[in-house]
């Protein structure tokens, strides 16, 4: 088996410049993350606030922490002191809470709107129209402590690469459309271990890769 550092190097070599790699370290122990850190990785993604906060407390402070999981409004306060980017914003209520908590710490938190592109019912996210309405709403314009930098999406979990490509194309079209109005838009977060090569063909600027760096996750322990 390859080392974490070797996996990281291999993936970095396949990414075009301008594509940011978020190393998804959920469920993995700190020594694994430190191996990636020592190989130069500085952006890590987690999907549970408690786990991310513990890792933030114990690890070097030049790491940028990305929350990639679904966020409950009442949990925002726990990550507001340090989180760099929240990927799965899907309501005005959540956006307002992030703004309120960021203001308490005199910070600006980067946010991505999660768009529902997969067929599967279980996937979270806004419809394209709801995302457009949200961005255009007066209330959102007033939020000074969040910066909405772009969109995030997850394709259907399938072997059918045409379906994945169609889903990524949908979000790419929306991203390009919104970029013309919202000049702060620079991030399209699509692509995971199984589909990041397709995502790059569809204009991804940020990939979220876990198992191809750290190995398969074991949720039973
Ligand atoms: C776990 C997760 C990833 C990474 O998945 P891998 O298949 O391990 O690369 C990416 N994005 C989200 C939202 C995730 O929950």
CB 118 less than 6 A from any atom of ligand 1: no
User: Percent of the chain at pLDDT above 70?
Assistant: 98
Q: Which CATH class is domain 4-212?
A: alpha beta
Burial 91-118 (b: 16+ CB within 10 A, else e): eeebbbbbbebbbeeeeebbbbbbbbbb
pLDDT above 60 for 115 = yes
Neighbours of 3 (CB within 10 A): 10
CB 71 less than 6 A from any atom of ligand 1: no
For residues 3 and 9, is the Cβ–Cβ distance under 8 A? no
Residue 190 three-state SS? coil
Q: Note the pLDDT tens digit of each residue in 174-216.
A: 999 999 999 889 999 999 999 999 999 999 999 999 999 999 9
pLDDT above 70 for 221 = no
Which residue is closest in CA terms to ligand 1's atom 11? 208
52-55 long-range contacts (CB < 8 A, ≥24 apart) are 52/79, 52/83, 53/78, 53/79, 53/82, 55/25, 55/30
Query: How confident is the model at residue 161, as a pLDDT?
Result: 97
Which residue is closest in CA terms to ligand 1's atom 7? 193
Of 23-32, 114-123, 170-179, 205-214, give the lowest mean pLDDT range: 114-123
CB 24 less than 6 A from any atom of ligand 1: yes
pTM: 0.96
114 HSE (CA, 13 A, CB side): 21
pLDDT above 60 for 148 = yes
Q: Which atom of ligand 1 is nearest to the CA of 68?
A: 13
53 HSE (CA, 13 A, CB side): 10
Q: Which atom of ligand 1 is nearest to the CA of 208?
A: 10
Residue 120 pLDDT grade (very low, low, confident, very high; cuts 50, 70, 90): confident
pLDDT above 80 for 60 = yes
What mean pLDDT do residues 98-127 have? 92
**Backbone torsions φ then ψ of 194, nearest 5 degrees:** -80, -20
pLDDT above 90 for 126 = yes
Q: Note the pLDDT tens digit of each residue in 84-103.
A: 999 999 999 999 999 999 99
Name the residue of 87, 189, 210 whose CB sits within 8 Å of the most ligand 1 atoms, as the mutation to test its pocket.
Answer: 210
The partner residues of 152 in beta bridges, in order of sequence, read: 114, 189
- Which single residue is written with the structure tokens 């090569």? 197
**Backbone torsions φ then ψ of 63, nearest 5 degrees:** -85, 140
**Would you list the domain boundaries of the chain?**
4-212
Q: Which residues contact 185 (CB under 8 A, 6 or more apart)?
A: 148, 149, 150, 151, 175, 178, 179
What is d(CA 131, CA 115) in angstroms, rounded to the nearest whole number? 7
User: Percent of the chain at pLDDT above 90?
Assistant: 93
What is d(CA 204, CA 220) in angstroms, rounded to the nearest whole number? 32
């Amino acid at each position: 088996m390859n080392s974490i550092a070797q996996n990281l190097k291999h993936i970095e070599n396949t990414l075009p410049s301008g594509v940011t790699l978020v190393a998804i370290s959920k469920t993995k122990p700190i020594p694994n993350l430190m191996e990636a850190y020592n190989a130069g990785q500085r952006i890590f993604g987690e999907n549970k606030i408690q786990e991310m906060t513990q890792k933030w407390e114990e690890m070097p402070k030049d790491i940028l922490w990305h929350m990639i999981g679904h966020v409950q409004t009442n949990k925002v306060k726990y990550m507001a002191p340090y989180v760099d980017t929240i990927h799965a914003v899907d309501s005005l209520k959540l956006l307002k809470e992030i703004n309120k908590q960021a203001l308490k710490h005199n910070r600006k938190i980067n946010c991505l709107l999660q768009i529902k592109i997969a067929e599967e019912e279980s996937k979270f996210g806004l419809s394209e129209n709801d995302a457009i309405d949200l961005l255009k709403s007066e209330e959102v314009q007033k939020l000074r402590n969040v910066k909405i930098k772009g969109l995030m999406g997850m394709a259907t979990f399938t072997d059918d690469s045409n379906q994945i490509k169609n889903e990524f194309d949908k979000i790419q079209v929306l991203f390009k459309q919104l970029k013309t109005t919202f000049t702060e838009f620079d991030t399209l977060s699509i692509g995971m271990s199984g589909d990041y090569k397709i995502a790059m063909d569809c204009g991804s600027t940020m990939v979220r890769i876990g198992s191809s760096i750290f190995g398969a996750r074991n949720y039973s322990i």
